[in-house]
Structure 1
Amino acid sequence: MPNVLIVDDTKFLRETLKEIFIKAGFVVIGEADNGVKAVLMYKELRPDLVTMDITMPEMNGIEAVKRIKEFDSSAKIIMCSAMGQQKMVVEAIESGAKDFITKPFDEARVLEAVKHVLQ
């Protein structure tokens, strides 16, 4: 089963995604609450998939995506954004993210994005 790194500065949202992934049979191998930790954990854990929040302290998700893609051009990253951040979502995709999901998370949409990115 694929393993996942969940990156979000809100614990509740990390827990929500974690539940969705575990229920679907994925292994959550790590959680980070900012972009700096996300990059370090990616390099250490080499997850099959990353869910990345856009707005976080220390380093935002877009910058973290760029750093991860520099390290591993084949990284599979799904951006997470609140509604109304379309401009940032476009920037995230241009930075190398493969798909995006909006908050609050819809389980079916999360799993659809994951399936799309892991194909």
Structure 2
Amino acid sequence: MATPSKYPLVKNRSVVIVDDDDVTRELLRGILRTAGLQILGEGNDGNRAVFLYQKFKPEIICLDIDMPEMNGLEALAKIREQSADVIVLMISAATTGENVRAAIAGRANGIIAKPFNTAKIVAEIERALTRATDSQKPTPKS
């Protein structure tokens, strides 16, 4: 008999990871795989994030805010032009002030604060998935 997943809500969900820091990408890759997500691709700048979204249409994108060339907020805007449904979680060491306001204004589904661990990341993904599911349910008529 198979052991039930510790994270059933995220198990087998598809994800793309985009961060310009190799160590952060490697850490995220390990955490997300351990949680049972399927990693479809990885990139290191906003242009690559948009390309990977168009190519794979993942359910979730983990997207760093501060990257060279096209930053994560610019990539978020381009991705949102194509889909309101994909869950985009912004990654940032600076989770106060302008980055948070800009991520919310850009319709990010959540923010993953650095430093992070498995519990923080999975909790943020689960919150975003739950909110997305709840927003798609029809409103009861009174």
- Taking only aligned residues, the RMSD between alpha carbons, in angstroms, comes to 1.1
Residue 74 (structure 2) aligned to one of 63, 67, 74: 63
Which TM-score applies when normalising by structure 2? 0.80
Q: CA deviation at 1:32?
A: 0.8
1:31 to 2:46 alignment: no
Question: 1:10-55, CA deviations, whole angstroms, 9 ceiling, x for partnerless residues?
Answer: 0100010111111011111100100001001101100010001000
Structure with the bigger percentage of helix: 1
Superposed displacement of residue 86, structure 1: 3.1
Q: Give the corresponding residue for 1:8.
A: 19
Partner of 1:117: 128
Please name the residue that 2:9 is paired with.
none
User: Do 1:79 and 1:89's aligned partners in 2 also have CA atoms closer than 8 Å?
Assistant: no
Whole-angstrom distance in 1 between the partners of 2:119 and 2:97: 20
Please list the CA deviations of residues 82-107 of structure 1 after superposition, one character each: whole Å capped at 9, or x if unmatched. 13553212211210100001111122
Q: Distance in 2 between matches of 1:34 and 1:101?
A: 17
Structure 1 window deviating more from structure 2 (84-93 vs 99-108): it is 84-93
Structure number with bigger Rg: 2
If each structure's strand is expressed as a fraction of its own residues, which one has the higher value? 1
- C-alpha distance in structure 1 between counterparts of 2:126 and 2:107, whole Å: 17
Give the TM-score, by structure 1 length.
0.95
